[in-house]
C-alpha cells in the first residue's frame, strides 16, 4: 500500500495584543471532520460536515459512513483535545473508502481514496498540519505532495471539469497563526460549466488565538 504523508505550517505572523488586553489569556480552538458535499447542477446534493468534532462542544465525532448522490464516505472518526498544561489544541480525523463519481457524467474519472487523515496542532508559534493519503486513484498523485498541490481534470471535450487540490493549506489573508487543512478538495468546473460546488475530504483546523 502506497501512503503519502505531507505536512504544512502556518507559523509566525501572530498578532500580539498590548499587555492590558492580555489579562484574559486566549483559548485555542480546533475542529475536524471527514468532509462535506455541496454540489449544485441539475440536482443539488449537500451534506453537513460528516463525523465532526469541535473542541469544547463535541470533543469526539464519528460516522459509520454516508452517501450523498454518487459520493460515498466510509467509516470515520475525529477527535479534538486541549493539553491541560499548555492549553495547546489538537484536532484530527481519520477516514476510509472515499469515492465520488460526480465527474463521470461530464467525462471525468471516478476518484477514490482508500484511507485519509488530517491533523492540526497549535503551538506558541502558530499552527501546523499533517495530512496522509493512501491508494488514491482516478488522478495522478506525485510521490511527495507539496502544499496546495493542484490537479486539473479534463472532460471529454477538453474543458476542465474539476480542480482537485491535495494537502490544501488555508490561512487567512492576514496571517494570524490559524490554519485549515484539507486532505483533498474537489472543486467542480472552476472556469464555469453545468455544475458548481465542491467536495471536501478530511478537514482539520485550529487557531491558537481562537477566543
Q: What is the pLDDT of residues 79-125, one digit of tens each?
A: 999 999 999 999 999 999 999 999 999 999 999 999 999 999 999 98
In a domain, 103, yes or no: yes
For the chain, the domain total comes to: 1
Indicate the pTM of the whole model: 0.87
Task: Tell me the CA end-to-end span of the chain in Å, nearest whole number.
Answer: 41
Residues recorded for the chain: 211
pLDDT of res. 32: 98
Contacts with 76 (C-beta within 8 Å, 6 or more apart), sequence order: 34, 50, 51, 62, 63, 65, 93, 94, 95, 96
User: Is there a contact between 150 and 98 (Cβ–Cβ < 8 Å)?
Assistant: no
Give the pLDDT score at 207: 96
In a domain, 161, yes or no: yes
Is 83 inside any structural domain?
yes
Q: What is the model's pLDDT at position 18?
A: 37
- Residue 123 buriedness (CB in 10 A; 0-12 / 13-18 / 19+): middle
Domain assignment of residue 84, yes or no? yes
In angstroms, rounded to a whole number, what is the distance separating the alpha carbons of residues 31 and 203? 8
Q: Which three cell numbers stand for residue 55?
A: 473542541
Residue 19 lies in a domain: no
How far apart (Å, rounded) are the C-alpha atoms in residues 22 and 16?
9
Residue 16: inside a domain? no
Predicted pLDDT at 92: 98
What is the span of the domain harbouring residue 46?
Answer: 3-8+27-207
pLDDT under 50: residue ranges of the chain? 1-3, 5, 7-23
All 3 cell numbers of residue 15?
Answer: 498578532
Residue 22 in any domain: the answer is: no
* Cβ-contact 15, 207 below 8 angstroms: no
- Residue 20 covered by a domain: no
φ/ψ of residue 45, rounded to 5: -125, 120
Amino acid at each position: 500500500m502506497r501512503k503519502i504523508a505531507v505536512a504544512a505550517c502556518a507559523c509566525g505572523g501572530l498578532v500580539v495584543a498590548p499587555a492590558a488586553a492580555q489579562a484574559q489569556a486566549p483559548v485555542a480552538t480546533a475542529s475536524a471532520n471527514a468532509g462535506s458535499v455541496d454540489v449544485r447542477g441539475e440536482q443539488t446534493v449537500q451534506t453537513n460536515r460528516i463525523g465532526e468534532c469541535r473542541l469544547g462542544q463535541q470533543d469526539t465525532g464519528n460516522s459509520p459512513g454516508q452517501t450523498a448522490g454518487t459520493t460515498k464516505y466510509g467509516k470515520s472518526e475525529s477527535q479534538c483535545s486541549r493539553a491541560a498544561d499548555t492549553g495547546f489544541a489538537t484536532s484530527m480525523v481519520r477516514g476510509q473508502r472515499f469515492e465520488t463519481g460526480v465527474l463521470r457524467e461530464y467525462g471525468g474519472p471516478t476518484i477514490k481514496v482508500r484511507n485519509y487523515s488530517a491533523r492540526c496542532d497549535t503551538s506558541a508559534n502558530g499552527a501546523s498540519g499533517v495530512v496522509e493519503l493512501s491508494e488514491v486513484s482516478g488522478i495522478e498523485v506525485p510521490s511527495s505532495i507539496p502544499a496546495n498541490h493542484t490537479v486539473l481534470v479534463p472532460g471529454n471535450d477538453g474543458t476542465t471539469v474539476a480542480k482537485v487540490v491535495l494537502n490544501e493549506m488555508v490561512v487567512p489573508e492576514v496571517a494570524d497563526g490559524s490554519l485549515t487543512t484539507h486532505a483533498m478538495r474537489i472543486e467542480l468546473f472552476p472556469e464555469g460549466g453545468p455544475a458548481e460546488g465542491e467536495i471536501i475530504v478530511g478537514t482539520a483546523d485550529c487557531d491558537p488565538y481562537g477566543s
